């Protein structure tokens, strides 16, 4: 399964052996062929959404309104 990762920029991670074994059991019969693929999926899910940008934009809107009113 191609997870869309750039293999040239790949980094090595060290995980406890028992966790890798448990993950290998977990992915049996699924389309995840390796623990790396599973981990990549989970990390992509975790990093795919971030509300920080929206919050910065909302702060900017309020600051502009206060400036319009002459209070900032």
Provide the binding-site residues for another protein, judged by CB under 8 A: 1-2, 4, 31, 41-42, 44-46, 48-52, 54-55, 57-59, 61-63, 65-66, 69, 71
Q: What's the closest the beta carbon of residue 55 comes to another protein, in angstroms? A: 6
Q: What's the closest the beta carbon of residue 39 comes to another protein, in angstroms? A: 11
Q: What's the closest the beta carbon of residue 42 comes to another protein, in angstroms? A: 6
If phi > 0 it is left, if psi is from -120 to 50 it is alpha, else beta; for residue 4 that is left
Helix pair 17-26, 35-47: axis angle to 10 deg = 90
Taking the least distance from each CB to another protein, the nearer of 8 and 50 is 50
> Which residues 6+ apart lie within 8 Å of 39 measured at CB?
13, 23
């Amino acid at each position: 399964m191609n997870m869309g990762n750039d293999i040239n920029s790949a980094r090595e991670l060290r995980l406890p052996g028992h966790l890798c074994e448990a993950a290998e059991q977990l992915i049996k019969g699924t389309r995840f062929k390796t623990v790396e693929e599973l981990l990549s999926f989970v990390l992509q899910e975790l990093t795919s959404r971030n509300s920080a940008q929206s919050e910065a934009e909302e702060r900017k809107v309020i600051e502009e309104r206060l400036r319009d009113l002459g209070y900032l």
